[in-house]
Chain A
Amino acid sequence: MEDFLSAAISIAFHGLALAMVLYLISVGLSVTMGLMGFVNLAHGAFAMAGGYAFTTLMNRYNVPFPLALIAAVIIVVAISIVLERLLYRRLYGGNELDQVLMTIGLIFMTVGAATYVWGPVAQPMRLPAALSGQIHIGTRDFPTYRSFMILCGMVLVTGLWLGLERTRFGAQVRAAVDNLRMAQSIGINTTRLFALTFALGSGLAALGGALGADFLQIQPGYALDNLVYFLIVVAVGGLGSIRGPFVAALLVGISDTAFKYIAPELGAFFIYALTMALLLWRPHGLFGRA
C-alpha cells in the first residue's frame, strides 16, 4: 500500500511538471490556430530556440538563472516578430498545405542551423545551487527543480488566464477567436492583434522550452521529435481554447508518466492509442467547438 501510494504521488508529481512544460509550449499554438487558422508546425522551434538561448547564456556566459530565462524569452520574441512579419503574415487565410510546407521548411532550417552552431549533442543544463537537490514537503522529498517548475507553471497559467479574462487585450483576443470579421468591423486592429498574440505564444513557448530543458532535451531534432506531443495537446484540448490545452496537457503529462512507469516496454504506445480513442469520441477535442 505504501509502495503504491508513493508511486502514485511520484507519477502525479512528475506528470504535473511535464504537463506544465507541455502547456506552456502548446498554448500559443492553440491560440494561433484558433485566431488565425494557421497550422504552425514550427511552433516547437521557438521552444527549442528558447532552450538553446537559455542554456548557452547559462553555460557559456555564466549569466544567472533568472536573467538567462528573461533574456531567452526576449530573444525568441524578437525573432518571432521578425518571422511573423516576413513569412507568417503572407499565409494567413491561405491554404493549409502551404502553411504546413512553409513551417516544415522552417523546422528543417532549425535542424540544420542548430547542428551548425551547437553540434548534434544535447545541451546540458546546469542548475543553480538553490534549485538543485531535494526539497522536503510534508512527509516526502521532491526534486527542487521540478517543484520550482510546477510553481512557475502555476503562476504563469494563472497570469495568462487572468490576463485573457480581465484585460482589454484579452477581450479582443477572445472576440477575434469567436468571430474574426465581426471583431474587425467593430474596429479591432486584427493585424496588430495577430502579431501580438504570435509574439506572446512564442515567448511562452521559449519559456517552456527553457524551463523544460531537462524533460525535453535541447538538441537539433527538438521541433521534429516533439511535434507530435505538442499537436496532441492542442488537438485533444480543442483548437483556439485556452483551458482545453491545459486539461489535455495534464492528461498527456500524467498518463504518459504513468504508462512509462507501469509498462516501460510499451513506451509511448499507450499515449498514442489514448489520443486516437479520445478523438474518436470527441473529434473536435475536449473543449473544441464543432
Chain B
Amino acid sequence: MAQPSDPPEQRAALDAFARRHRLRPVEALPWLAMIAAYFVFPDYLALGAQILATILFGLSLDLVLGYAGIITLGHAAFFGTGAYTAGVLAAHHWGEPISGLVAAGLAAGLVGFATGAVILRTSGLTLLMQTLVVAAMLSELANKATSVTGGADGLQGMDVWPIFGTFRFDLFGRVAYIYCALVLLICWLAVRAVVYSPFGRSLTGIRENVLRMHAIGAPVRRRKLVVYTISAALAGVSGALIAQTAQFVGLGVYSLQQSGTILIMLIIGGIGQLYGAFIGVPLYMIAQDRFSEIDPVYWYFWIGLFMIVMVIFARGGVIGLGERILRRIRKPS
C-alpha cells in the first residue's frame, strides 16, 4: 500500500498495483449466473451441484497448470483422495459434512505434498508420466483395500448428516447446490488471493521463464511444491463435495478419464485466467448431459475431435476467443 510519505510518482505506481487486484464488477457475473440458475432451472439442481463441485476441481487444476505451468494428467489423485476421505468418514459413523471437507482437504494436501516433493524434481514427459503413476498407484490401493473402500464395487453406505445439524440434503439437490456454491465461493476467494499475491506472481514467472527465476534467486522448487500442495487440497475438497452430494464413491474418481476430462474442461474455458473453469466446466457437463440422452457411447469421439480442432484453430479456449473478438472490435483496421 502507498504511504503518504512516498514520492508522488511512486505512490501512483503503487496505487495502480493495488487497483489491479481489486474486485471488478465483471467478476460478479459467474456468481450472478449461479444464483439465476438456482431459480431458472429448479429441476436440474443435482446436476448443478455436480457442476459447481467440478468447477472447484477445475480451479485447482488451473492453479498448477495455468499459473505454475505444471502439466499434469494425474490430478484425479487428489480429487479421489478427497472423495474417499469424505466417503470413508461418512460410511464409518462420522457424517458431519464440514469437518469431512476439511479432513478431505488435509488428506489430499498431504498426498500432494508428499508426492510433489518426489515428482516435481523432474520435468517434461517424465513429470507427466509420474503424475499418471501417482494416480494409478492410489487407484490400485483403493482397488485392493476392499475392506475400507469397497474396492471395485465402490463405497456403499455413506450417511451424510445435515449441514450444521439443520440443513438436510434433499432429493432435489437444493441444499447440495447452495452448499457447493458457498464452498466454491470461499475457495475461489482463497485462490484469487494466492494468484494476486507476490507468491502468485512468482509462479507466473516460473511458468514464463524458469531459468530467469532461478537466476534471480527464486526458490523455484519450493514454490512449485507449495502451489502443488494448495491445489491438491482444493482438488480434495472438490472430490469430497462430489462424494457428499452423490453419497457414493467409486474407483472412477482416480481414473485417467477423470484427470483427462477436467483438463479438457479447463482448456475449453481457457487456462491461467481464474475463470476458465467457470466457463469450460458448465459447457462441457451440460453438453455431455444433453448428448448422453442421444448417444452416450460416442461422446468421447466427438470431444476428442473437438479437442484437436481447438488446439489447431482456437487456442486459448472460450476466454481466448472472446479476447480476440474484443480486440478486433476495439481496433478496427
Q: A-side interface residues toward B, CB under 8 Å?
A: 33, 39, 87, 90-91, 96-98, 100-102, 104-113, 115-116, 224-225, 227-228, 231-232, 234-235, 239, 265-269, 272-273, 275-276, 279-280, 283-285
> B130 and A276: CB pair below 8 A?
yes
Chain B contributes a number of interface residues (CB within 8 A of A) equal to 45
**Interface check B133, CB cutoff 8 A:** yes
Flag if B307 contacts A112 (CB, 8 Å). Answer: no
Inter-chain contact A239/B125, CB cutoff 8 Å? yes
B12 at the interface (CB under 8 A from A): no
Looking at the assembled complex, report how far the CB atom of B322 sits from the nearest CB atom of chain A, in whole angstroms.
19
A231: which B residues are within 8 A, CB to CB? Answer: 125, 128-129, 132
Query: In whole angstroms, how far apart are the Cα atoms of A43 and B264 in the complex?
Result: 19
Give chain B's interface secondary structure class.
helix
18 additional contacts (CB under 8 A) given A234-B125, A234-B129, A283-B122: A39-B128, A96-B124, A101-B311, A104-B264, A105-B306, A105-B308, A105-B311, A107-B304, A111-B300, A112-B301, A115-B297, A224-B256, A235-B129, A269-B140, A272-B133, A272-B140, A275-B129, A283-B126
Decide yes or no whether B141 CB sits under 8 A from chain A.
yes
Q: Which residues of A contact B260 (CB under 8 A)?
A: 104, 108, 224
Q: Is B216 an interface residue (CB 8 A)?
A: no
- Report which of A97, A106, A266, A267 forms a contact with B304, defined as CB distance below 8 A: A106
Docked CA distance A168–B290 (Å)? 56
- B307 close to A101 (CB less than 8 A): yes
B220 close to chain A: CB less than 8 A: no
Interface assignment of B46: CB less than 8 Å from any CB of chain A: no
Taking the closest CB of chain A, its distance from the CB of B184, in whole angstroms, is: 25
Report B47-87 residues with CB < 8 Å from chain A CB. 65, 71, 73
Residues of chain B contacted by A104 (CB below 8 angstroms): 73, 260, 263-264, 304, 307
Q: Are B298 and A112 in contact, CB atoms less than 8 angstroms apart?
A: yes
Would you call B212 an interface residue if the criterion is a C-beta within 8 Å of the partner chain's C-beta atoms?
no
Show 9 A/B contacts (Cβ-Cβ < 8 Å), sorted by A. A33-B125, A104-B304, A108-B304, A108-B307, A112-B299, A228-B256, A239-B124, A276-B133, A284-B126
B143 cross-chain contacts in A, Cβ below 8 A? 267
- Residues in B with CB closer than 8 Å to A91 are 311
B178 at the interface (CB under 8 A from A): no
- Is B312 close to A, CB under 8 A? yes
For residue B93, CB closer than 8 A to chain A, the reply is no
Check: B144 CB closer than 8 A to any chain A CB. Answer: yes
Q: Note all chain A residues with C-beta closer than 8 A to B136.
A: 228, 268, 272
Taking a contact as CB atoms under 8 Å apart, the answer to whether B144 and A269 are in contact is yes
Report the Cα distance A105→B119, complex, angstroms. 25
- Asked if B137 and A269 make an inter-chain contact with CB atoms under 8 angstroms apart, the answer reads yes
Whether the Cβ atoms of A96 and B71 lie closer than 8 Å is yes
Of B121, B133, B264, the residue contacting A283 (CB under 8 A) is: B121
Chain A proximity of B160: nearest CB distance (Å): 30
Bound Cα distance from A115 to B140, whole angstroms: 25
A266 pairs with B129, CB closer than 8 A: no
Interface centre among B132, B144, B299, B307 (most CB of A within 10 A): B307
